[in-house]
Amino acid sequence: MPYPRKHFFLFFQLKVNRKNNTGISVYLHIPFCLKKCNYCDFISFDYSFGDLQKYLLYLKKEIDILFSKFPASRFSLKSLYLGGGTPSLMSAELLSDLVEHLSKYFDFSTLIEFTIEANPETVEFDKFKEFRQFGVNRVSLGAQSFDDELLKLLGRVHDSKKIYKSFEILRKSGFDNINLDLMFSLPEETIEDVMFSLSEAIKLSPEHISFYSLTIERGTKFFKIRDSLGIPQENEQAKHYKMGIKLLEGHGYKQYEISNFSKEGFQSIHNLSYWLSFPYAGFGIAAGSFISRIRRRNVLNLKSYYEKIDSGMLPIGLFEHLTERRQKGEYIMMCLRLKGGCKNSLYYDRFGVFPVTDFGNEISNLSKMKLLKADKEGFSLTSKGLLIANQVMEYFI
């Protein structure tokens, strides 16, 4: 069925401008999936079209409530990210409607990256062709593994055939910037299995690969049976990670963050905004925002989300005004995730002092332990530090 006129209007309005790099990053959380994966601790619920429609209505209301506090303002948009859940369950019409709503408050002419997360079972040619026309220029596809047995064990809806097929459809729909999400150290996974999945991903030649280890989180189906799952030991996991990095870098995927690798020019602009502590605004259940030292996170419960919006309130669950010290510590924690680490000049531009003034002892002690390497430009994790990155980051907060 042809779409109403307004959707064609959007096609012209939302041409993506790749040259500008100003404005804010916006995240929209779409919390519905066809089925809950066994390892998943994200906020996601079973999908029905009616529930999704209702949720999107409230999402738009949340955006209206926030912007009623900034009448007549229009903000430059740098990146837009639709995550979930499975946002690719949205029809082209629903997505277009949402984007049109956002365009009342955000200037899309400055947008450089517009990502939608997708799962292979939801990728259809007509829909993604329209997504592309509405300005979506990046897809993050949840592949997770190319081993059908493991996919089944993870509780994924798709098999490996569906990954190859959906990738082909995405290319045909016009996407030239695709990320594949891949997990390693899955139950009973050997180094050969990890290399197999990674090699299959590389053969598809996506522009970006996220390669991260399975973590067993509380509240998931896997958590209850964690001891019988056969999760590889820590030393095995370290081997999977190191060998994975080697394979990826050998095929032109440069590591730029702990779990992220890209071909030249395809680093994720949206995620870099998080890691470089640029401002971002999140909408939807559980979505977080960070603007001028204020961090907030929306409620985690759908009923509370709807109730707060019905009473004209923002659905905020957590609100923090960071102290300057905390903000600086978090800045370092985030930029240490980057391969290039923390640059003294960027820190100075942000805070008016060099990191050594604020964290001289920490940098010096961690360097002595060979967990950080520092030079006159800045400091970053060593390969030893990379393996225990979270512990190293804790020193700064």
Give the residues lining the site for ligand SF4 (CB under 6 A). Answer: 33, 36-37, 40, 42, 44, 84-86, 119, 142
289 close to 277: Cβ distance less than 8 angstroms: no
Q: Of 117 and 193, which has the nearer Cβ to ligand SF4?
A: 117
Q: Of 83 and 206, which has the nearer Cβ to ligand SF4?
A: 83
Strand-pair category, 372-374 with 316-321: unpaired
Full DSSP string of 146-197? S-HHHHHHHT-S--HHHHHHHHHHHHHTT---EEEEEEES-TT--HHHHHHH
Least separation, in Å, of the C-beta of 159 and ligand SF4?
14
Least separation, in Å, of the C-beta of 210 and ligand SF4?
13
Short-list 54, 58, 129, 118, CA closest to 89 = 118
Least separation, in Å, of the C-beta of 285 and ligand SF4?
13
Q: Of 35 and 373, which has the nearer Cβ to ligand SF4?
A: 35
Least separation, in Å, of the C-beta of 75 and ligand SF4?
28
Q: Of 45 and 354, which has the nearer Cβ to ligand SF4?
A: 45
Least separation, in Å, of the C-beta of 43 and ligand SF4?
8
Q: Of 133 and 260, which has the nearer Cβ to ligand SF4?
A: 260
Least separation, in Å, of the C-beta of 12 and ligand SF4?
33
Least separation, in Å, of the C-beta of 239 and ligand SF4?
25
Q: Of 44 and 173, which has the nearer Cβ to ligand SF4?
A: 44
Q: Of 10 and 116, which has the nearer Cβ to ligand SF4?
A: 116
Q: Of 118 and 332, which has the nearer Cβ to ligand SF4?
A: 118
Whether omega before 284 lies within 30 degrees of 0, making that bond cis, reads no
Structure tokens of 31?
């919390």
Least separation, in Å, of the C-beta of 27 and ligand SF4?
14
Length of the chain: 397
Q: Of 142 and 341, which has the nearer Cβ to ligand SF4?
A: 142
User: E strands within the chain?
Assistant: 24-30, 32-33, 45-46, 75-84, 106-107, 113-118, 138-144, 178-184, 208-213, 254-257, 260-262, 280-283, 288-291, 294-298, 316-321, 342-343, 372-374, 378-381
**Burial class of residue 230, CB neighbours in 10 A (0-12, 13-18, 19+):** exposed
Q: Burial letters for 127-152: b for 16+ Cβ neighbours within 10 Å, e otherwise?
A: bbebbbbbbbbbbbbbbbbbbeebbe
Spatial separation of the C-alpha atoms in residues 152 and 92, rounded to whole Å: 29
Q: What is the 3-state secondary structure (H, E, C) of 292-344?
A: CCEEEEECCCHHHHHHHHHCCCCCEEEEEECCHHHHHHHHHHHHCCECCCEEH
Least separation, in Å, of the C-beta of 48 and ligand SF4?
15
User: What Cα–Cα distance (Å) separates residue 55 from each residue in 47, 91, 251, 309, 319?
Assistant: 11, 14, 42, 11, 23
Least separation, in Å, of the C-beta of 362 and ligand SF4?
35
Q: Of 36 and 171, which has the nearer Cβ to ligand SF4?
A: 36
